[in-house]
């Protein structure tokens, strides 16, 4: 067993996270730079360090999850969601079941609520937002962001749904109330069914082909016929028909 394979086994036992399902070269590079910075020589020593030091374990989790996000990330895609996808979905269903999977610190589910508020009163909007990382979820629940996270937010939306507080912006409670946050591991936990929309962006890039394949199958099962999967802007699905997906627009797949 190599040093990294032993590490994978230990981490799985300790945290239930299976690093074998994440692209190896990329993950190894990220973790090696962390353990070298902390003065360890190999993965085995790094793991022993984590057994003694909770803070190191938390640093490891932080490094492996990569929480970068922003509101209206890749703005043009959100225009497609607003002008094409939502009108079609709302014609079919007045109450939409929506899931923001791997939501990180909350920018994405809050953006969904802001976009959907063009069509529905906020009291009728309810979004499930999940992530593997509990620290990210805790931040998401506070709803407080630095200005750079809002770079792509249209001015009218910024004025309507954020309150500026010193150097930070606070998402208004009326938006926060539309989102329920929960911990969920895409590689292990069960998926709810009958979704109209699943937004899962900028996480598939970290997974192995085998893991991606399983997740797309799970998403397909979790969507109602006609329901939509919205993926990240580098995450086109290579063979959508394998998962009963039709291309509805670039980065939007509807279940056949
Ligand atoms: C780069 S962020 C993407 C945030 C947001 N979706 C966006 O596009 O801006 C990736 C997120 O995936 C989460 N993640 C990584 N592995 C996961 C897994 N197995 N299950 C659920 N979430 C996971 C990380 O914790 C991180 O918050």
| φ, ψ at 18 (rounded to 5°) | -100, 95
Q: How far is CA 227 from CA 3, 193, 196, 202, 219, in A?
A: 43, 11, 4, 20, 10
109 lines ligand 1 (CB under 6 A): no
How far, in Å, CA of 101 to CA of 222, rounded?
12
In the numeric block, the tokens 């970068």 are attached to 68
Handedness of CA 240, 242, 245, 246 (dihedral sign): positive
- Is-contact 114 157, C-beta < 8 A? yes
Separation CA 31–CA 15 (nearest Å): 16
Euclidean distance between CA atoms 223 and 53, whole angstroms: 42
Best of 203, 211, 219 for a ligand 1 pocket test (most atoms within 8 Å of beta carbon): 203
Q: What is the pTM of this model?
A: 0.96
Task: Check pocket membership of 131 for ligand 1, CB cut-off 6 A.
Answer: yes
**Secondary structure (3-state) at 164:** strand
What lies within 8 Å, CB to CB, of 200 at 6+ separation is 100, 101, 102, 186, 215, 219, 229, 230, 231, 232
| 199 CB within 6 A, ligand 1 | no
231 Cβ below 6 A of ligand 1: no
The residues near 243 (Cβ < 8 Å, ≥ 6 apart) are: 216, 217, 219, 220, 237, 253
Q: How far is the CA of 100 from the centre of ligand 1 (A)?
A: 10
Cα–Cα–Cα angle for 12, 69, 32, rounded to 5 degrees: 40
pLDDT tens string, the chain, 256 residues long: the values are: 999 999 999 999 999 999 999 999 999 999 999 999 999 999 999 999 999 999 999 999 999 999 999 999 999 999 999 999 999 999 999 999 999 999 999 999 999 999 999 999 999 999 999 999 999 999 999 999 999 999 999 999 999 999 999 999 999 999 999 999 999 999 999 999 999 999 999 999 999 999 999 999 999 999 999 999 999 999 999 999 999 999 999 999 999 9
| Residue 89 near ligand 1, beta carbon < 6 Å | no
Task: Choose one of 11, 62, 65, 233 to mutate for the ligand 1 pocket test, by most ligand atoms within 8 angstroms of C-beta.
Answer: 65
Closest to 62 (Cα-Cα) out of 138, 133, 143, 137: 133
């Amino acid at each position: 067993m190599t040093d990294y394979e032993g590490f994978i086994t230990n981490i799985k036992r300790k945290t239930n996270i299976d690093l074998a399902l994440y692209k190896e070269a990329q993950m190894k590079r990220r973790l090696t730079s962390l353990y070298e910075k902390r003065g360890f020589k190999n993965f085995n020593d790094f793991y022993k360090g984590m057994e003694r030091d909770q803070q190191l374990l938390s640093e490891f989790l932080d490094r492996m999850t990569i929480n970068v996000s922003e509101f209206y990330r890749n703005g043009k895609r959100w225009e497609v969601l607003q002008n094409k996808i939502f009108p079609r979905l709302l014609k079919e269903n007045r109450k939409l079941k929506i899931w923001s999977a791997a939501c990180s610190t909350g920018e994405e589910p809050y953006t969904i609520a802001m976009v959907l508020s063009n069509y529905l009163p906020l009291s009728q909007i309810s979004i499930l937002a999940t992530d593997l990382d509990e620290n990210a979820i805790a931040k998401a629940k506070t709803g407080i962001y630095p200005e750079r996270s809002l770079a792509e937010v249209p001015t009218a939306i910024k004025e309507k749904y954020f309150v500026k507080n010193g150097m930070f912006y606070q998402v208004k409670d009326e938006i926060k109330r539309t989102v329920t946050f929960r911990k969920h591991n895409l590689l292990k936990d069960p998926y709810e069914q009958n979704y109209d929309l699943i937004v899962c962006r900028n996480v598939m890039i970290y997974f192995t082909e085998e893991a991606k394949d399983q997740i797309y199958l799970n998403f397909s099962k979790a969507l109602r016929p006609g329901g939509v999967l919205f993926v990240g802007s580098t995450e086109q699905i290579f063979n959508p028909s394998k998962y009963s997906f039709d291309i509805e627009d670039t980065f939007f797949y509807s279940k056949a």
